[in-house]
Amino acid sequence: MASTLTLNVNGLNYTATVSDPSMPLLWVLRDVLGLTGTKYGCGIEVCGACTVLINGQREHSCVYDVSSAVGQQIVTIEGLSADADGQKVQKAWTDKQVPQCGYCQPGMMMVCTGSIKAGHHGNEIASDMNHICMCGTYPRIKAAIQGL
C-alpha cells in the first residue's frame, strides 16, 4: 500500500510517495525523485552500478528497502562533488581519464568513496571494488586508486 516517506539525499529532504515500503531505494531515487545518476545494472547485487552511501557506508540500492533508508543520510553520485572524499575520487578519475561509456562509473566512484571513508587505501580499495565495467576501464581504475 502506498506510503509517503521523507528521505535525506545529498543533504536535502525529499518527500516520496511509493506504492510499497519495500521498494528498493534505487527506484525511488531514479523514478520518483528523478535522481538518475544512480544506475540499474543487474538488480541482484552483482554489478555494483547502483551503489550509494548510507551514513557513509557502501550499499547496493537495488536491494535496499526504501523504508530502511528513512532517517539515514543518503549520498548519491549527484552529491559526490560536495563530499571531500568524493572530490578526491573525482580528481583521480579525471587525472587517469577513467570513464569510457560511463554507465558503471557512478557505482565505481561511490564504492571508492565509501572505501576511503572506511579508512582503506590503495590495494584495500581495489579489493573493495568488486564491480562490473563492461567497457573494461579496470587498468585506469587501478591507477586512479593507487594515490587514494
Q: Which residues bind other proteins (CB under 8 A)?
A: 18-20, 23-24, 26-28, 30-32, 34-44, 46-47, 49, 76-78, 80-81, 90, 93-94, 97-106, 109, 126-127, 129-142
- CB–CB of 48/115 below 8 Å? no
Rounded least distance, CB 48 to other proteins, Å: 9
Considering the complex, state which of residue 119 and residue 136 has its C-beta at the smaller distance from other proteins: 136
Rounded least distance, CB 145 to other proteins, Å: 9
In single-letter form, the type of residue at position 15 comes to T
Query: How far is Cα 122 from Cα 100, in angstroms, rounded to an integer?
Result: 22
Considering the complex, state which of residue 133 and residue 148 has its C-beta at the smaller distance from other proteins: 133
Rounded least distance, CB 66 to other proteins, Å: 10
Residue with cell 551514513: 55
- CB–CB of 74/16 below 8 Å? no
Q: Which residues are bridge partners to 54 per DSSP?
A: 57, 74
